[in-house]
Structure 1
Amino acid sequence: METYGRILLIAMPVFLLLVLFEKWYGWRKGKETVRTMDMISSLSSGITNVTKDVLGLSIAIISYGWLADHLAIVKVPDGWPTYVIAFIALDFAGYWTHRIAHEYNFFWNNHIIHHSSEDFNLACALRQSISSIVKLFTIFLLPAALFGVPEQVVAVVAPLHLFAQFWYHTQHINKMGWLEKIIVTPSHHRVHHALNPEYLDKNYGQIFIFWDKLFGTYQEELDSVPAVYGITRPVRTWNPVKINFMHLWLLIQDAWRAQSWKDKFRIWLMPTGWRPKDVEEKYPVFKIEDPYHFEKYEPTVPATVRWWSLFQILICLLLISYLFGYIAQIGSPGIFLYGLFVFLMVYAYTELMDNHRDALYWEIAKNLLGLSILYYQRDWFGLSSLGTFLPVFLASYFIGSTLVVYYFVRQQSRPSLTP
């Protein structure tokens, strides 16, 4: 946890600067691809994901270490070949895990967040799942285990493999010549994120595109079919916590409502989007039929709410940076209490972005938790060591934030507020 936290302390500012640069670049070139509220939602999703990962809130049914210890038939020599094999093996596993997430109802819940943005930009790369608590597909790392690749090597290569998937989430890079035949490029991944019928469920590769060509899931980006981004059942919210579980909630409801016991059980492993016929007729769910004629989600909010949301995510980023930098000193169970606060914070300000009245109640809950921590610790997890004024600043923020959100909710709750 501590090592990963330190890696993120370096990676997070780099990713944030690149996201902001892309927004500026799009504005400068007259091709804006980054809407402010969508960007905040994407960054907030990234915050919840890395917080979950740093806190170790997931378990593996079969660990890679067990596979390597029990199934290795050879042992690759130390050196760069070991890392190459590990990288290729991770990419092979990534292809199949990614494909399964798209093709089966139950596993789509773990991936819906990544496709939920109706834009395509670097920020949406940070939309990663918090619902994948149980890791089921370590078995796809079997090739690395058979070669005896040490667990420590996989642990080093895995974050690099993940971070290397960031750059190609952009509309500002066109096709890349001969590289299109080897690696996943922005052109390939635009296809993957599109909801056009021609592009659905294509290009699952994460680093190398040849897996898709080998297993029949490749689709070139067509000049005649401009990509339209998002999912066919739009999420209609900026709240990443809600997005992470909305498909699962729909499956639970559909399984409960289905008349047939067969449908109650098979719905989980049917192709993504499948619903029992009787449930679909009685409880229809909106689906985009024409990708070229639908309105992107963009609830009307005052400019002051946009600026406030930017301020909120800035405070959140500073708070999780402190968590990642001092995770060993904070220790357990403090880090889990801190994680709860982060999740409450994200939930509260994204509810306000959605124009929901309950944003105030979530804001109050978050700030009461924060003030309680300050009261009982007489500090904020040791933050006073960096400056005695910082706990006072936080207390002022918690009180002031409640008042500001109260004002916004009262103003917006008049005619235009969505219940």
Structure 2
Amino acid sequence: MIFIKNTAQTKEILNETEFINKFKSRTINPMEAYGQILLIAMPAFFVLVLFEKFWGIWKGNDTVPLNDMIASLSSGITNVTKDVLGLSIAVISYSWLFEKFSFFQIEATWLVYVIAFFALDFAGYWTHRIAHEYNIFWNNHIVHHSSEEFNLACALRQSISSIVKIFAIFLIPAAILGVPPQVIGIVAPLHLFAQFWYHTRHIGRMGFLEKIIVTPSHHRVHHAINPEYLDKNYGQIFIFWDRWFGTYQEEKDEIPAVYGVTRPVQTWNPIKINFMHLWLLIKDAWRAEKWSDKLKIWFMPLGWRPADVAKKYPVSKIEDVYHFDKYNPSLTKGMLIWSFGQLIALLLLLSYLFGNLADIGAPGIFYYGGFVFLTVYAYTELMDRNPNAWAWEVLKAVYAMYFVLTSGDWFGLNKFLPGSVYIFVGYLVVSALLSIWFSFKKEKLQLAN
């Protein structure tokens, strides 16, 4: 028999079968576990991003413009929402590779965790390199390079378009060595989060560490569009992969890094950025006269376009990286403050979703995810000075009000915090009205000019 002490300090006796059933019912699935991790990670990243901004202001070198920061954090929101909801397909899972290829059965010792970390970094190097070298894979990565700044916030510009994942293929060496899947599952998020810190211009060269790990200096080179720096330093944690495979480039004082992509995205909207390269490939494949070009374009080196299409349909490209205008549509202080307020409101609502995934359940979590994406789309369109931004905000409000009116709540939020549903409805109304006001005010300003 097993004795369990409850909160009222009384003893409840359960037989072993009942206990096991209770334990199983409380087991957290991977989706919930990742949501719980993000409840800690999101505020930590947000605080670090704000710290970098205030540090830059104090030092007289602010590298985090507010509009760029909002766009970057919004991209991170869409990415983690997609991941937590499991909206991706792995071509091959690591568990399957482990079952088919492992020659050994080893225990999860500290050494195994070290091997797993190196295996993940090796796989990360090649996945990253392929994303930069082939047309079809660049769409999954363009959003990370889309910022024309370089700061901690842009580290959070992660993809929502990587629906099909091939990452596990590069983990075959780990599977052969018998690294258990549960070890990979633990090490993978740690490996991912460890790539955050080096997205900054406030840390110079780091001595002997430059020969071992990826440093801010290395990664500034990677994000630069200078001809001398393009397609270099793919490493994620260790830089020796680049040294061994011929893709290493040192940062040079006489060549100041210029950031972004050579075909500027010209938008703050991360959802648009995630699919713009794919849309260009689709249009080019459709317009190409040769059938061979229609197929070849997907697997050619990044930037390749059929000659006939490139001539007839040219695309804007930066020719002189030292002389071009960064994307910066004019925003009033009120619009910028309101956009930041939208970001804060969404982070709070997202925290509620991640903390209550099991209670909300399916399909509710997917409806909630739709609201998250609509919100990001609406306020980043306003930041782009899109005259139709108000329509997206109204659509968001109508979408959310449907669930409030049909259920009397917003996915259990009012039970969690009594009275909060009224605050939420008030936010929807104010958000729609302000967006309409900003949109039409903008049109008057344009007419006046």
Give the TM-score category using the shorter length: over 0.9
Runs of 4+ residues deviating >3 angstroms: none
| Paired residues of 2:106 and 2:180 also in contact (CA < 8 A) | no
Q: Structure 2 CA distance, aligned partners of 1:97 and 1:272?
A: 14
2:22 corresponds in structure 1 to: none
- TM-superposition CA deviations, 1:8-39 (whole Å, max 9, x none): 00000000000000000011101110010010
Structure 1 residue identity aligned to 2:312: K
The residue type equivalent to 1:359 in the other structure is A
Rounded Cα–Cα distance in structure 1 between residues aligned with 2:196 and 2:332: 31
The alignment's TM-score, normalised by the length of structure 1, stands at: 0.99
The residue type equivalent to 1:59 in the other structure is: I
* Aligned-residue offset at 1:147: 1.0
Distance 1:329 1:186 in 2: 41
Task: Tell me which residue corresponds to 2:264.
Answer: 234
Matches of 1:211 and 1:64 in 2, distance apart? Answer: 22
Query: CA-to-partner distance for each residue in 1:287-324, whole Å, 9 max, x for gaps?
Result: 00111001110000111000000000001000100000
Structure 1 segment 205-216 matched on structure 2, within 5 A: 205-216=235-246
SS at match of 2:446: coil
The alignment status of 1:31 with 2:61, answered yes or no, reads yes
Q: Which amino acid aligns with 2:362?
A: S
Q: Does 1:47 align with 2:81?
A: no
Aligned residue number for residue 227 of structure 2? 197
Give the conservation status (yes or no) of the 8 Å contact 2:108–2:180. no
Percent sequence identity over matched residues? 66
State the distance in 1 between where 2:417 and 2:138 align. Answer: 45
Between the aligned partners of 2:302 and 2:40, the Cα distance in structure 1 is 37
One-letter amino acid of the structure 1 residue matched with residue 349 of structure 2? L
- Which residue type is aligned with residue 239 of structure 1? N
Residue matched to 1:264: 294
Q: Distance in 1 between matches of 2:290 and 2:108?
A: 56
Aligned partner of 2:374 in structure 1 is 344
- Structure-1 separation of matches of 2:352 and 2:208: 43
Counterpart in 1 of 2:187? 157
Tell me, yes or no, if structure 1 residue 283 matches structure 2 residue 313.
yes
Structure 1 residue aligned with 2:102, among 72, 75, 78?
A: 72
Pairing partner for 2:360 from 324, 330, 347? 330
Which of 300, 310, 326 is the equivalent residue of 1:296? 326
User: How many angstroms does 1:415 deviate by?
Assistant: 4.6
Residues 213-247 of structure 1, C-alpha deviations (whole Å, 9 max, x = no match): 01000000011100000000000000000000000
Question: Which of 92, 111, 114 is the aligned partner of 1:81?
Answer: 111
Structure 2 gap ranges (5+): 1-30
3-state SS of 1:379 partner: coil
Where in structure 2 are the equivalents of 1:14-413 lying within 5 Å?
A: 14-413=44-443
- How far apart in 1 are the matches of 2:57 and 2:106? 49
Q: Which has the greater radius of gyration?
A: 2
User: Does the 8 Å CA contact 2:101/2:176 hold for their aligned counterparts?
Assistant: yes
**1:143 to partner: Cα distance:** 1.1
2:424 counterpart SS class: helix
CA distance in 2, matches of 1:179, 1:19: 24
- Matching residue's letter, 1:74: F
Task: State the TM-score, normalized to the length of structure 2.
Answer: 0.92
Q: Which residue of 2 aligns with 1:11?
A: 41
Deviating more after overlay: 74-83 vs 99-108: 74-83
Secondary structure of 2:406's counterpart equals helix
